[in-house]
Amino acid sequence: MSKPYRPSNGTEGDIFDHWWCSGCARDQAFRDNPDSGDGCSIVASTMIFNIDEPEYPKEWIQNDDGSNPRCTAFTTEPSKPVRCDETIDLFSVSA
């Protein structure tokens, strides 16, 4: 199972950003031009809302024991829709 994730401090936030946000196509516009006002709404929402508010992004999760923080919306393909990482891919092809 999983629960919402919020970094506990700036260092943990930087590490999370490095592993997820810095390579995600959803935040590419912000990386290209930080003054554009474009970027990932998930990142912005994690800073606006408290983790216990309904508006807090459901995409930032961790295991119940606090391990494996991740963003389920991560993608390198910007046109790819956000999907739940707990849902199996019915159309994947295994080699």
pLDDT in tens, 14-70: 999 999 999 999 888 888 998 988 888 998 899 999 999 999 999 999 999 989 999
Instruction: State yes or no: pLDDT of 95 exceeds 50.
Output: no
d(CA 58, CA 73): 9
Q: Which residue type is seen at 77?
A: E
SS3 state of residue 67: coil
d(CA 74, CA 76): 7
Is 0.95 surpassed by the pTM of this model?
no
Instruction: State yes or no: pLDDT of 12 exceeds 60.
Output: yes
Per-residue tokens: 39:
């970027």
Q: Which of 72, 85, 94, 86 is nearest to 26 (CA)?
A: 72
Instruction: State yes or no: pLDDT of 86 exceeds 70.
Output: no
Say how far residue 9 (Cα) sits from the centre of its chain: 17
